[in-house]
Structure 1
Amino acid sequence: MSTLNLALDHQGMLVSALTAPRRAKYICLECGGALLVKRGEQRAAHFAHDASHPGGCSGESVTHLAAKRLLRSQVEAELVQDRSVRWAQCCPGVDVTQRCRMRTTLAQAYEVEGRWSVQEEVAHGHYRFDVAVVVGGQAVFGFEVFHRHQIPDEKAAGLAVPWLELVAEDILEFKPRVPFRGSYSNSRCPDCERLSGTLRERQLRDAQRGEQSRKFVAEVEQVQRTWANILNTARALDRQGKRR
């Protein structure tokens, strides 16, 4: 059984064993059982089920559940503030062979229209989001929380709305929201955009030179065929003159 580092207080708020008051009681995210804080010099701070509910809950499951709960509250706060979901996207670079040299991150935002709510375990077609922004009963932006296991490629390909897969530990540590993977825009940082434009111009010039070369080769071949026809005609006339 893994160590439980996170729990809910009596108000349903996430608390850490490092800072939770000792004498209060807490609720297990996984089973709903009562927890107590264990903290001392000989052992790292953690939550433990009380004697009335020994429990056998997994710390890994609690990490995933806690990350979902915290992510939900974060997204709700963002939408209340400016009705937008915000994250940062790593610049994709020019192409797969030329990644961003500066490793720039770009601010991204998705504006939510209509009456929204943020929910956990939201059905979306054949799949289910860990957390989603819901408008009119439908998920319009989804989140997957990555802890030990990432979502299958089949599911990733079948999600028809914008979505992000976030690392659970990053959520719990309040790190900037840079997704593990998900829906991305095609925007690049200024340096990569300039380099991409330079490469496009070079490719265009190469294509134009290639087209000119093909035309030149075609003209040379036409001239060669014309001269070959002229020479063949002249030889035939010479042969006819000799027979006479």
Structure 2
Amino acid sequence: MLIPYAVDQEGNLYNAKEAGKEKQYYCPSCGEKVVLRKGKVRTAHFAHKANAKCSEETVIHKTAKLLIQQVIQSWKKENKKAPVIIVKCPICYNPSEVRIVEQIRIEDALLEYRLPEGYIADVALIANNKIKMVIEIKVTHSVEQEKQERINIPFVELDGYEVINNPFVWKPLKYKLPFFVCDNCKDAYKKFLRKAKTIAQKTRVKIPTEYYLYGITTCWKCKREILVFTWAGHTSLDKRAPKKKPIPSTIQYRYSKTAKQKYWANVCPYCGAIQGDWFLYDEPDNPFIDCNLVDDSSFNYKKNMLRIAAHAKEMGML
């Protein structure tokens, strides 16, 4: 069995490629002496004696935990680089680097830490004597579903072999993390807000800060850029008045010749033309395409506005 890392008498972790033969090294899992084998043919590694009972699974599992701890401690104490987590942005769904340990201000990493729920965490990331995040290492067995559901703090499950390959880049197999937005979506949101403010000033339409979501579109009739609105629970050709007052001035109960009925519609502040619900909700490039308008506890105003901004950037409107 090839052992990629071993510890010295002081408990310092060494990569076989960087270790010198002048020291004695020990298995990070069972603590038995190991031999450094470093030649021109085979990859540098440590090896047990023939009668060792340690398994590859336990070695990889313990080594990965030690590497996570070492990376966190070297970042905090020696000002070395912090690890990043690669996860999909919840807005644009593109892979993004999240510097989570910096965001939640981690101070230390403790191994095999007992959680309040009674479970033992492979690695617990600590700040102000409180557990801020849990890291579980998978070699052959994934974290149990019950454990995953009962852990009430952020956690990630990492592949042990991937950690050993690169302990600075974490690619979770499973995760539960605080809400984050990638840099591209943050930039899109800032640009969207600036442009929306400019349009609002030109049209004298007040921008809401809650309940009413707003997007940017071009009036089909006069071809000017305008703001359009929607809200939680809104449906196409909706006859129900919005619940929140004041209602934006360009949301009006109007008769549509196309729909042959009255409904609460967006109208152009310049020419007064109704902006049809089909265009606003059903066309492939509609401004509210990624919005979740379900009128219940799942409605999230900020997430919806971020999605509207990201879509506007994708459509070349910002």
TM-score, structure 1 as length reference: 0.65
Q: What secondary structure is seen at the aligned counterpart in 1 of 2:17?
A: coil
What amino acid sits opposite 2:137 in the alignment? Answer: V
**Counterpart residue number, 1:130:** 122
1:122 is displaced (CA, Å) by 0.7
**Counterpart residue number, 1:34:** 33
**Counterpart residue number, 1:56:** 53
Question: In 2 relative to 1, CA 162–17 (structure 1 residues): closer, same or farther, beyond 3 Å?
Answer: same
1:69 is displaced (CA, Å) by 0.9
Partner Cα separation in structure 2 for residue 13 and residue 57 of structure 1: 20
Contact 1:27 1:34 in 2 (8 A): yes
What amino acid sits opposite 1:174 in the alignment? Answer: P
Structure (1 or 2) with the greater helix fraction: 1
Instruction: Give identity over the alignment, percent.
Output: 20
Partner Cα separation in structure 2 for residue 140 and residue 213 of structure 1: 45
**Counterpart residue number, 1:234:** none
Question: In 2 relative to 1, CA 153–203 (structure 1 residues): closer, same or farther, beyond 3 Å?
Answer: farther
Deviations 1:47-96 (A, max 9, x none): 22357xx31222222111111112112223344479xx8643524344xx
1:161 is displaced (CA, Å) by 1.8
1:8 is displaced (CA, Å) by 0.9
1:155 is displaced (CA, Å) by 0.7
Q: What secondary structure is seen at the aligned counterpart in 1 of 2:31?
A: coil
**Counterpart residue number, 1:228:** none
1:39 is displaced (CA, Å) by 3.1
Map 1:41-190 onto structure 2 (within 5 A): 41-50=40-49, 54-80=51-77, 87-88=84-85, 90-94=87-91, 100=93, 102-108=94-100, 109-112=103-106, 118-124=109-115, 125-134=117-126, 139-172=131-164, 173-189=166-182, 190=184
Question: In 2 relative to 1, CA 50–130 (structure 1 residues): closer, same or farther, beyond 3 Å?
Answer: same
Structure 2: give runs of 5+ residues left out of the alignment.
193-212, 217-227, 242-252, 263-318
Partner Cα separation in structure 1 for residue 78 and residue 5 of structure 2: 27
What amino acid sits opposite 1:110 in the alignment? Answer: I
Question: In 2 relative to 1, CA 107–71 (structure 1 residues): closer, same or farther, beyond 3 Å?
Answer: closer
Partner Cα separation in structure 2 for residue 181 and residue 55 of structure 1: 33
Structure 1: give runs of 5+ residues left out of the alignment.
221-244
Partner Cα separation in structure 1 for residue 121 and residue 161 of structure 2: 18
Question: In 2 relative to 1, CA 38–91 (structure 1 residues): closer, same or farther, beyond 3 Å?
Answer: closer
Partner Cα separation in structure 2 for residue 139 and residue 59 of structure 1: 29
**Counterpart residue number, 1:230:** none
Contact 1:86 1:110 in 2 (8 A): no
Partner Cα separation in structure 2 for residue 174 and residue 50 of structure 1: 27
What amino acid sits opposite 1:73 in the alignment? Answer: Q
Highest CA radius of gyration, 1 or 2?
1
What amino acid sits opposite 1:88 in the alignment? Answer: I
1:207 to 211, 228, 234: 234
1:191 is displaced (CA, Å) by 4.1
RMSD between superposed Cα atoms in Å: 3.8
Contact 1:89 1:184 in 2 (8 A): no
What amino acid sits opposite 2:60 in the alignment? Answer: T
Contact 1:117 1:134 in 2 (8 A): yes
TM-score, structure 2 as length reference: 0.52
